[in-house]
Structure 1
Amino acid sequence: MNYWIPKLISEAKSELILIVPYIKVSPNIFKALKKVDDKGIDITLVYRENKLSAGEKNKLNSFSHLNLLHHPNIHCKCYYNGDLLILGSMNLYEYSEKNNREMGILLHKEMMKDLDLNMQGWDSDSKAIFDDAIFEIKEIINGAQVEKLSEKGKSKNFKIEIIKTDEEYEIEKSNRLNKYFLNKKFKAFEETENNWVSKCENYFNKVDVLIENNRIAIQFNLPENELKSLYQKWKLTYQEYEFPAIKYYWNYHSSNLLIYRDSVSYDWDNVGRGENYHNKLAEAIGQIISKYRILTGR
């Protein structure tokens, strides 16, 4: 705990959340917080109401990027930087560092996702455990009283990006897509439990488009016999790199056709996420739709 809490704090990249009932920061913790504050990263600190001395409050108020809140009855100890999450028994208390027997658990956001992917067929729900913890963080912050907001906290109406749900992120992504795809309207869609994508139903006649993190899925909504016929025709001329800037796979007639970016033939990494990027996505989808129309006569 003495190693990982300062490490979690100092390695924060965008935002930092600390929820502890009692605070009397050690030099070690103060140094880590100062490092984060100097980088312009907002620190949101929630403590238990009436459990912070004037001296400690003055020390914390020396940070320029601090959001300070208090809550009447929190007892949990939680540290989160958007990537690493620690749940445990230790307060931000110097005495605890030196004398107490403390325990905790360290969770890594991306590793929890990967664990679920690698544990298919087992009773694994690692991401749900992580999501439950983030939900509780949101509830605590929502129920707390604000004492001080940083300038960034004021300007953003105190929106903390790292505690947004996957659904909220997907809603934002769908809204961005709709700015560029005009009449093709995407909505956040829960494809499987806790797995959100942006979906446009009937992007073309009997064709849905799902835009995921690193790929596009094309879903042909045809009767079984028509779908099998289309698949057989498609396979006669199929080539993985058939179209520029993308590679695609269609492995079985009842599965989705999957499009991936091909960074060898097109510089996807430097195209940004603006109009050019979205035009290229639309072009990739359009190439698949064109082939679909030719093979089906639609």
Structure 2
Amino acid sequence: MANVDKDVINGWSVVDDDNNETGSNEERKIEYLKLPEGDTRIRVLDVAPFAFKEWWAPRGNGGKGTSIPYKGKDDLLEAENKAFMEKVFQEADRLGLKGEQRKKFLREKGYSKLPWGKVKQKYVIHVLDRATGEVKLLEKGNGLFKELKKYAMNPEYGDLRQYDVTITRKGSGLNTEYTVTPARQNTPLTDEEIRLYEESKVDLAKLKNHSHITPEQCLAVAKGAKWEDVLKKNNNVEEKADPDMLPQDDSSGEPIEIDSSEVLTDDELENLEF
């Protein structure tokens, strides 16, 4: 039986934690791991993932669709959602709706039509892609990372850095399902794999912070402006935008995956406060 390292427990506690906050950007380039339907074998290389939040704007970045960094209390997409819901609550009050009738009204006229949907909880971690031998970034939501967490926190398995796992993806969209299967035995990384990791890894907090992007720029891009047009310096000289320093567009060829946990439950809907 493996003992679960304290750093592993503390690190993986960020998965499925609603209080996660986002962590300048990293110049080193690194590829994101694609997860096509079927099996993908990897080795996790970090003690735990980095947690962050973002929106998905389907009309953003000139209509290409793009992720939009979540800006916490200063977030303007969330502010528009709140302003929208305030009007819906006021209308429900005006109509005197109560109980199930009120909940149905709020869902159909409010939540299901929120301008920007629900902010997404995401995670990113360095992994070794066994198919190519390359160090890549695995970035997904709760659906996959909760499966990985089960093994990381299980005394029978523990630290994911000690053994390979196979990720199996079935379906897409709300029907996407991930299962994780651990290898039968632990195998140490080779000296070459360790060297590759040390040379390739990036600062994930810096990569996902996007502190150089303002809430106003985020809103403009979400509404259709292009990143390259809005990212300008104070003197209005256009900033050279490194694609690796920007939020990720969906250029992977994979379908957009919506975690079912991003849909509000009846209890969440009942307790919404705007």
TM-score, with structure 1 as normaliser: 0.19
Greater fraction of residues in strand: 1
| TM-score, normalisation: structure 2 | 0.20
Q: Which structure's relative contact order is higher, taking Cα pairs within 8 Å and 6+ residues apart?
A: 2
